[in-house]
Structure 1
Amino acid sequence: MSVLDIPFGPLLARGLRGALSGPFDLDLAPGRCSVLSGPSGIGKSLLLRMLADLDPNQGQVSLAGVARERMPASAWRRLVTYVAAESGWWEEGVAAHFADLDAVRALLPRVRLDPALLQARVAQLSTGERQRLALLRAVVQRPRFLLLDEPTAALDAASREGVEQLLQELKAEGLGLLVVSHDAGQARRLADVHLQLDEHGLGEVQP
């Protein structure tokens, strides 16, 4: 079975923990956005990275009923994709980071980016341009869940609006979202569920 045969479904974690964090229980639904907030340094990014199996962790994690350990790490990370606040770039040119240039070219205007950026060098990009391109790099891989670490922190209002509109449309198509954000307005606009991580643990913020 190809990884793309795995349907949209819930992302569940039970007893997820690392050396210095957890345990966490999470029930994330497809087609919904959970916004995660909390003090800086409390471990929000680490939680996302553990869900994506990028940092050492223990516990049970599954997607659409399929246990994480039943698939290669690379397949899991394609389906449950973490996008850092400042993602890595390993080639000099922007275009080399995209297998499907037509797909990303169609999405660029949606997040207020000029398609000509595909011909640029990564070193020429602003922080906000890199941030939006990293998001699109993940989107065109057709994940089932996106784990986004402050995806609009470096953006102006117009660019932030474009990203939020794209996320709403992806959500309507069935994609699940877990978004770290310190922006209370963004949490109100995006969140179906608002989670808070603090010294007492992980819990849901009641409206």
Structure 2
Amino acid sequence: MASTRPRLLLRGLSIGGIGPLDAAIAPGECLALSGPSGAGKTRLLRAIADLDPHGGECRLDDRPAGVFAAPAWRRAVAYLPAEPAWWADTPRDHLRTADAPAGHDRLAALDLETTMLDRPLTQLSSGQRQRLALLRLLDGQPQVLLLDEPTANLDADNIARVEALVADYCAERDAACVWVSHDPGQRRRVAHRQLALDGRGRVTACS
């Protein structure tokens, strides 16, 4: 981590009785969030991304979310849902840097072929679409990654590829990350710190 100044600061974040969440996430740091199904992990990520009404405050590099236009905040603080949506026919239609060196490098890092970019999304597997959705997220060069079970449909080799790519991205760009995962082994591998939600939506620190 390049600095102790928070990249993302959350103060009293709450939504629908979930929280409050207080956290300061440094550049390059990954915070893992766990808890039982239905505890509110996804809702907290959506609150950070300012996709749903919520209480509390979110700050990026000490600038409150309110000073950003909504699209600018959501580009900088980018949310990857567990089931990403697609609005065009092929992956290439969603990737600005598909033909740039960085785009090729990320495709290779996730064991994806460039020919896949021009195949209809309906012909790709759920695991391929999941990896491509991560590339789409990184394509916008966000400063904060909000990842909701980004490896849920992947085998062990591709889980390792995703974990390595996210770690490299955060290290190279001093990006912060909030990673929701049900897998305790994964949380230990990817996170510098961990928080958990209990069945009542309360936030606790965990080892």
Report the TM-score, using the length of structure 2 for normalisation: 0.91
Q: How many residues align?
A: 199
Q: Is the contact between residue 149 and residue 182 of structure 2 (CA under 8 Å) also seen in structure 1?
A: yes
Q: Is the contact between residue 16 and residue 23 of structure 1 (CA under 8 Å) also seen in structure 2?
A: yes
Amino acid at match of 2:92: A
Q: What is the CA–CA distance in structure 1 between the aligned matches of 2:44 and 2:65, rounded to whole Å?
A: 16
Q: Equivalent residue of 1:22, what SS? A: strand
Q: Equivalent residue of 2:9, what SS? A: strand
Q: Deviations over 1:114-146 (max 9, x none)?
A: 121101111111111111111111112111110
Deviation at 1:9, TM superposition (A): 4.6
How do 1:64-83 residues align onto structure 2 when only pairs under 5 Å count?
Answer: 64-83=61-80
Q: What is the CA–CA distance in structure 1 between the aligned matches of 2:191 and 2:6, rounded to whole Å?
A: 18
Matched, 1:178 2:178: yes
How do 1:153-164 residues align onto structure 2 when only pairs under 5 Å count?
Answer: 153-164=152-163
Select between 159-168 and 95-104 the one with higher mean Cα deviation: 95-104
Matched, 1:87 2:87: no
Q: Deviations over 1:16-60 (max 9, x none)?
A: 222342322222221011111100010000000100001111221
Report the TM-score, using the length of structure 1 for normalisation: 0.91
Q: What is the CA–CA distance in structure 1 between the aligned matches of 2:83 and 2:9, rounded to whole Å?
A: 26
Q: Deviations over 1:80-128 (max 9, x none)?
A: 0000111000011221111222232321110121121101111111111
Alignment gaps of 5+ in structure 2: none
How do 1:98-177 residues align onto structure 2 when only pairs under 5 Å count?
Answer: 98-101=95-98, 102=100, 103-173=102-172, 174-177=174-177
Q: What is the CA–CA distance in structure 1 between the aligned matches of 2:125 and 2:52, rounded to whole Å?
A: 28
Matched, 1:12 2:9: yes
Q: Is the contact between residue 104 and residue 137 of structure 1 (CA under 8 Å) also seen in structure 2?
A: no
Q: What is the CA–CA distance in structure 1 between the aligned matches of 2:195 and 2:169, rounded to whole Å?
A: 20
Partner of 1:5: none
2:40 to 34, 39, 43: 43
Select between 71-80 and 104-113 the one with higher mean Cα deviation: 104-113
Alignment gaps of 5+ in structure 1: 1-7
Amino acid at match of 2:202: G
Amino acid at match of 1:52: A
Q: What is the CA–CA distance in structure 2 between the aligned matches of 1:200 and 1:146, rounded to whole Å?
A: 22
Amino acid at match of 2:153: A
Partner of 1:54: 51
Matched, 1:201 2:202: yes
| RMSD after superposition | 1.4
Q: Deviations over 1:150-192 (max 9, x none)?
A: 0111001111111111112122221111100011111111110
Deviation at 1:200, TM superposition (A): 6.2
